[in-house]
Amino acid sequence: MKHLNTVASVVLPLMAGVPPVDEKHDERGLSQSTENAILLVGAVSIATVVVTVIKGYVTSNLPK
């Protein structure tokens, strides 16, 4: 989880801070690939949290 947060904190600002390639072409918003990358990072983060919570619950309720 710590590595994922580190990667997201480095990659996402770099992706959002890239200047447009064509100055004449003024489009608002992010590119489709950038949106997909952000959604993928979000989905992986949510899945990691869910798996961690379930694993912790199951581990704490196992008989000793």
Largest Cα separation within the chain, whole Å, is 67
Q: How far apart are CA 41 and CA 10, in angstroms?
A: 12
4 neighbors 44 (Cβ within 8 angstroms): yes
**Which pLDDT score is estimated for 55?**
96
Segment 24-60, tens digit of pLDDT: 665 677 788 889 999 999 999 999 999 999 999 999 9
| Environment class of 38 (CB within 10 Å of its CB; exposed 0-12, middle 13-18, buried 19+) | middle
- Give the pLDDT of residue 30: 76
**4: its two tokens:** 């994922």
| Under 8 Å between Cβ of 34 and 15 | yes
Q: What is the pTM of this model?
A: 0.52
**Predicted local confidence at residue 20, as pLDDT:** 47
Write down the pLDDT at residue 3: 65
pLDDT recorded at residue 29: 73
